[in-house]
Amino acid sequence: SVPLSFFGGIGAASKHGILIKGSNYMETLSDVTRIVFDKTGTLTKGTFTVTDVQSDQYDRKTFLHLLALAESHSSHPIAKSILEANKEPIHESDVDSVEEIAGHGVKAVIAGHTYAVGNQKLMQQLGLNVPAGTGMGTMVYAAQDGRYIGYAEIADTIKPDSKDAIQEMKAAGIAKTVMLTGDSQSVAEAVAANVGIDEVHAQLLPGDKVDCLESMMTNETEGTLAFVGDGINDAPVLTRADVGIAMGALGSDAAIEAADVVLMNDSLKDIPKAIHISKKTLKIAR
Ligand code: ADP
Ligand code: MG
């Protein structure tokens, strides 16, 4: 039977916008020693803006229009930022075909030309060398008919309370923090250094995230593991972790459903709060 105090704990958490889907997750939360984070939309806001555009082939306006046409069918946050930066009209009939390549970018046929728009990995598949990024921004490269034509640099913003939240987690007894991301090593390391994350795994494809988490979980001596995410890609990882924590405001429905704990205010500071409430509740119950 479930001790009555557990209901009190779940109620106390819900007042802070922390939804705990069962009393057993309070036990798990109180034991957590490792927290693994998705980057985009979890540690960062996940809203991108185009900060730089470079093309030797086209002027800025034409180049952005081409990128926007190629990205017009994608719902990725990167695609949204490019569509926002573009001021030219987008006609469905301008795009002959599009294909989204998970963890890489998009391929499109526009006015008889083939375009590839995405990260360095996508360009490598075409045998193309591309300029390195400046650091913080995500580089979106473009190729036309197999030839490199330019890039757009896109910047995300770290959530203002991510750094404090990580510190509070460490004070609450979290021994290790880890980031998993599909983004490049340089962007991942810059964000990790900024917020105080201990370990980084970058350039992961959606499936790689589960593999990475599973290999961490075989190392049981390191203890109970929580995963925090927001995207559709994060759902399988949220399910696999000892306790899955999802962003409830801007998170995807798939992530919210797969999670055991939902943060309605999307604030990572609610994680140390949830840990404290769980520990207090467990103390009363035991
Ligand atoms: P994450 O949410 O961790 O960044 P994703 O799997 O969504 O992981 O994306 C990984 C990387 O693939 C992105 O950082 C980006 O470089 C590239 N990418 C994915 N989709 C697109 C897209 N529609 N346009 C451009 N690049 C993309
Ligand atoms: Mg994400």
Q: What is the DSSP secondary-structure string of 174-242?
A: --EEEEE-SS-HHHHHHHHHHHT-SEEE-S--HHHHHHHHHHHHT-GGG-EEEEEE-SGGGHHHHHHSS
Q: Give 10 Cα–ligand 2 centroid separation in angstroms.
A: 26
Tens of pLDDT along 13-41?
A: 999 999 999 999 999 999 999 999 999 99
Q: Which of 81, 82, 119, 247 to mutate to test the pocket of ligand 1 (most atoms within 8 A of CB)?
A: 119
Q: Give 104 Cα–ligand 1 centroid separation in angstroms.
A: 6
Order across the sheet with 32-38: list the strands: 18-20, 261-263, 243-247, 224-229, 32-38, 176-180, 199-201
Q: Which of 31, 38, 156, 270 is catalytic?
A: 38
Tens of pLDDT along 131-180?
A: 998 777 899 999 999 999 999 999 999 999 999 999 999 999 999 999 99
CATH number of 49-155: 3.40.1110.10
Residue-range domain boundaries for the chain? 4-45+158-285, 49-155
Eight-state DSSP code of residue 40: I
Residues in Cβ contact with 89 at an 8 Å cutoff, skipping those fewer than 6 apart: none
Atom 6 in ligand 1: which residue has the minimum CA distance?
Answer: 103
Tens of pLDDT along 41-100?
A: 999 998 899 999 999 999 999 999 999 999 999 988 899 999 999 999 999 889 999 999
Residues in Cβ contact with 23 at an 8 Å cutoff, skipping those fewer than 6 apart: 2, 6, 7, 9, 10
- How far, in whole angstroms, is CA 45 from its chain's centroid? 9
3-class secondary-structure state, position 260: coil
Ligand 1 pocket: which residues have CB below 6 Å?
Answer: 39-40, 71, 74, 76, 78-79, 103-106, 117-119, 138, 140, 181-183, 206, 231, 233
Asked if 156 and 46 touch (Cβ cutoff 8 Å), the reply is yes
Cα–Cα distance between 35 and 75 in angstroms, integer?
A: 28
Q: Is 38 an annotated catalytic residue?
A: yes
CATH number of 4-45+158-285: 3.40.50.1000
Eight-state DSSP code of residue 3: -
Residue appearing with tokens 């927290």: 35
Q: Give 92 Cα–ligand 1 centroid separation in angstroms.
A: 23
Report the predicted TM-score, pTM, of the whole model to 2 decimal places: 0.82
